[in-house]
Amino acid sequence: MARKANVVEIPSLGTLDRTAGQLGRQLAQALRTAIRRGDIKPGELLPSTRILAKSLMIARGTVIEAFEQLIAEGFLESEGRAGTRVARSLVDEDPTRKRDEGRPAETRSWTPSARIDRFAQVAQHFVAAPQVPFSVSVPIGKAAPDDIWRRLGNRIRARGLGAPSGYGDPQGALELREAVADYVRKSRSVRCDASQIIITSGTQQGLYLACQVLLDVGDFAWVEDPAYRGITAILESAGHSNQMIRVPVDSEGLNVESGIERCPQARAAFVTSSHQYPLGMPMSMARRNALLAWARASNAWVVEDDYDGELRYAGHPFPSLQGLDPDCVIYLGTFSKILFPSLRLGYAIVPPYLVQAFCGARVLMDRHPANADQHVLAAFIAEGHLDRHIRRIRGVYADIHRQIIEAVNKLIPHNLAWLEPSDQGMHLVLWFQDGIDDKWVAMKASEAQVSVRAVSTMYAGANGRPGVILGLGGFSPEEIESATRRLAHVITLATQKTTE
């Protein structure tokens, strides 16, 4: 009787997930957690393996296996026929409990470092947008890749080069680099060969690698004002906040003269020269020449983020900056816009003497891109499907672009909001009358199933001109019209808020 009274109950053990299998491991983990949390204390007697097996409705052998494992780890001690207890030695020194594992973070008494705060804010900013208008690059409807993508994927993953293998080349699969070199030479006037290409998991990683490789501690960098949060956040998180020189953008793109006035000795300039993000204009030829002349004269690098340069709806796409001076430009391209963002494949094209350094930084980050999709994409490009896909989606996005312009002009009062003229890319900027809070509009719009991003936050100090970005995704004309109506309503509410 006495023995029975001392046997502990452990309710948390009842949460084993039968569908997940490996019940022995699950039970062992649940017991560890119960001990760490103090649900069961050193010296306390556990139920017998028979009783525990019965109450959990699992085989007795499974319980024995879990007990033996925890005895070996020092969490439990066996007393033979007298049963199994939580090890008494855990009273004196329990290193695991010192780490407070399993407790909610808010009960811990630590002061978060600035870095923890900064990264947590970045995570909040980059929460994936829902698949509603006006999220960018949502590959649904006519914008989705056709069946060939799926069929190629099945074939190459099962039997081809994308089948399981050992570690690959940090630079990326040669087949893909060759296909990319061919593609960018023709479509973006980039001058390179496959040996200069590093396959990345998108431009975001390309930007990260460029910062890691090019900037020493204390080096200054020019960044457009306004700019993509993905570059300003990298520089802040890498400790370059005070060396980030925001250079204003006007109708010709980055104002090079102003950059030189502010910081002639910068080590790098990050630009979106084909389609300024977010404002949308291409950099004029005069500015391109001035930027490259400054870079050459001061031994600086230009990092060209060409995130959607392929998609021009009137005339030909603007050629890359890299083609004008391959020695001082790091060119970053991506398949996020022309195929789909979840693919997570892009490329950095660098002068030959930077290749090894980019590979080294890449290895430290994640060794190399996932193998299978690289080969699927290589075949997709080499067999001509990408060219056909781009020709098709250029038409699709041109229609969506026009539909958004028509819907905005029809449904949103022009004195409250108006579109920045644009003939390319995957988004439009909708400017607001002064005083309208674009962050509030973005928040309220999202409650109404409309996804837009505030422009004011993309300026230095997060305090620029108010407006929102409307992304192009594969939405139908009806969805676009209905979302525009809801956005118009939110904008009207925002004006009432400002006059209150």
Distance CA 188, CA 197 (A): 14
Is 270 in contact with 304 (CB distance < 8 Å)?
Answer: no
- Residues 6 or more apart whose CB falls under 8 angstroms from that of 231 comprise 207, 223, 270, 305
Residue 339: closest CA among 383, 393, 376, 404? 393
Distance CA 469, CA 338 (A): 19
Residue number, 230 or 259, with CB nearest to ligand PLP: 230
- Tell me: does residue 318 bind ligand PLP (CB under 6 A): no
Minimum distance between the CB of residue 279 and ligand PLP, rounded to whole angstroms? Answer: 11
Minimum distance between the CB of residue 397 and ligand PLP, rounded to whole angstroms? Answer: 15
Site string for ligand PLP, 338-357 (x = CB under 6 A): ---x----x-----------
- Tell me: does residue 202 bind ligand PLP (CB under 6 A): yes
Residue number, 328 or 343, with CB nearest to ligand PLP: 343
- Tell me: does residue 369 bind ligand PLP (CB under 6 A): no
Please give the C-alpha separations between residue 475 and each of 133, 148, 379, 403, in angstroms, as whole numbers. Answer: 7, 21, 28, 10
Neighbours of 361 (CB within 10 A): 19
Interface stretch with ligand PLP, choices 61-69, 333-341, 358-366, 385-393 (CB under 6 A):
333-341
- Tell me: does residue 282 bind ligand PLP (CB under 6 A): no
- Residues 6 or more apart whose CB falls under 8 angstroms from that of 367 comprise 167, 168, 170
Interface stretch with ligand PLP, choices 41-49, 175-183, 201-209, 347-355 (CB under 6 A):
201-209
Distance CA 336, CA 341 (A): 4
Count of residues engaged in binding ligand PLP, rule: CB under 6 A: 13
Is 313 in contact with 396 (CB distance < 8 Å)?
Answer: no
Residue number, 38 or 130, with CB nearest to ligand PLP: 130
Please give the C-alpha separations between residue 140 and each of 27, 89, 405, 407, 453, in angstroms, as whole numbers. Answer: 43, 59, 20, 20, 20
List 69, 203, 371, 456, residue binding ligand PLP (CB under 6 A): 203
Interface stretch with ligand PLP, choices 61-69, 181-189, 200-208, 259-267 (CB under 6 A):
200-208
Using CB under 6 A as the binding rule, the residues of this chain from 208 to 247 that contact ligand PLP are 228, 230
Instruction: Output the residue with the shortest Cβ distance to ligand PLP.
Output: 202
- Tell me: does residue 204 bind ligand PLP (CB under 6 A): yes
Residue number, 341 or 351, with CB nearest to ligand PLP: 341
DSSP state of 420: P
Distance CA 438, CA 419 (A): 14
The residues that touch ligand PLP, with contacts defined as CB under 6 A, are 202-204, 228, 230, 272, 277, 305, 307, 334, 336, 341, 346
